[in-house]
Structure 1
């Protein structure tokens, strides 16, 4: 599943503690559904809940929350378009292990579409890219997501205090 791998790589790259200790991060797919239609196309899709677990995490949950939300802005655009003031489909749980560490679990819905096309007498599978975001006039442009995350979380001496 491409999105699980991409999300894992993004979190390891931009969450400082996960960059140092990537084995603390566990990502899996649960409650998956396979979708296909009785049409002339063999294309299909699947939807699932991505379960993200970070064990023995000594940072602020925000060091995981913000990168996940920024990743979703590009990789699961429809999720934000469907959130119109109702309950968020993104849930989390925090277990306080001791005064300095937590276990953090996030669950978020993801979808992937696969196009099956004829090519040179055979078939080809291609992952469909996310559709472009519909301009509602409410989006903010974040031209440098890596720079933003590096500024906020890249230098451990400059992390935001928990009370902010």
Structure 2
């Protein structure tokens, strides 16, 4: 479940400033599909990734954007509506947000000297700042004030 671990890392490194203690991740309803043939031991892992952000205080659109950005680059088989969600509204500023999305990982089983090597499909790094910008702001129309800003480290 390398994709789920990488998605978790992507969320923690995002401008959302979510703390690790507030980010819970689970893999549910997993399924393994064998692609074995005469000389093939490859397989796929497909599961529902459940991501829970507790005590979330930012706009939900920001969390959705960060996850969709990563998903488009790293889960090519995703559906056009890949994320389901639930929210527990704690007060007018805070919520617990649960995202559920299906992830699929292809695992190659390659014969090497002395045994087999299992290789997961690679995770593509995502540039959170569009167009390699070092500073950017996120607006949610029609509000003229930014809901988030990002300044690259060292700026």
Q: Would you call these one fold, judging by a TM-score over 0.5? A: yes
Q: How does 1:1-164 map to 2 (within 5 A)?
A: 1-18=1-18, 21-40=19-38, 41-79=40-78, 82-83=79-80, 88-129=81-122, 145-148=127-130, 151-152=136-137, 158-159=146-147
Which structure: greater helix fraction?
1
Structure 2 gap segments, 5+ residues each: 139-144, 149-155
**Mapped partners of 2:32, 2:65: distance in 1:** 29
Give how far 1:112 is off.
Answer: 0.4
Return closer, same or farther for 1:93/1:152 CA change in 2, 3 Å cut-off: farther
TM-score (norm 2): 0.78
**Mapped partners of 1:152, 1:70: distance in 2:** 16
Consecutive aligned runs of 4 or more in structure 1 exceeding 6 Å deviation: none
TM-score (norm 1): 0.74
Which structure: greater strand fraction?
2
* Number of residue equivalences: 136
Let me know the Cα RMSD of the aligned residues. Answer: 2.2
